Amino acid sequence: MKKDNDSQRIHFSKRAFSIALLSVTLGLAGLAGCEQEGPGEAAGKKVDQAAETAAVKYEDAKASMGEKAAQAEEYVDDSAITGKIKMGILGDPMLKVFQINVTTTNGVVMLSGVVDSQQSIGKALEIARNVPAVKSVENGLVVK
């Protein structure tokens, strides 16, 4: 019987060794599998990249819209300046009879046309300079 017990022990030891070896092998295979990228990880990376790209495009669009808004605001400001100067000229009894052209670009006003005296030019320049947001006034008015 001693041989049977020894034989069983050897058989049991071989089985235990085989199970241990199999466990180690599977464990190493599992670790190797962790290093490889599966479909879920690849999809996750693509989603992250798309989110980063969208964030960059959003910031670019926001900056562009800010620039467009600033340009529109400048245009509105220029139009308002021009309108206020024209109202001032039409409201002045000395100037309303003359054809004075007013253009405004980025706050710079250009007056042009024909008036009857140097005093009329001075009055038109004064009206233009007193409008808020006017940066400068260029005189293109001539005396006839």
Instruction: Decide if 65 is inside a domain.
Output: yes
Instruction: Decide if 133 is inside a domain.
Output: yes
Considering its fold, how many domains does the chain have in total? 1
- In sequence order, the β-bridge partners of residue 113 are 100, 141
Instruction: Decide if 83 is inside a domain.
Output: yes
Instruction: Decide if 51 is inside a domain.
Output: yes
Instruction: Decide if 102 is inside a domain.
Output: yes
Q: Confidence band (pLDDT; 50, 70, 90) for 39?
A: confident
Q: Confidence band (pLDDT; 50, 70, 90) for 4?
A: low
Instruction: Decide if 48 is inside a domain.
Output: yes
How many Å apart are CA 122 and CA 42, to the nearest integer? Answer: 74
Residue for token digits 């309108």? 83
Instruction: Decide if 117 is inside a domain.
Output: yes
Per-residue pLDDT tens digits for 83-137: 999 999 999 999 988 899 999 999 999 999 999 999 999 999 999 999 999 999 9
Choice between 92 and 57, residue whose per-residue pLDDT is larger = 92
Instruction: Decide if 71 is inside a domain.
Output: yes
How many Å apart are CA 34 and CA 138, to the nearest integer? Answer: 74
Q: Which residues form the domain of 92?
A: 38-143
Average pLDDT over residues 35-40: 65
Residue for token digits 């690849």? 42
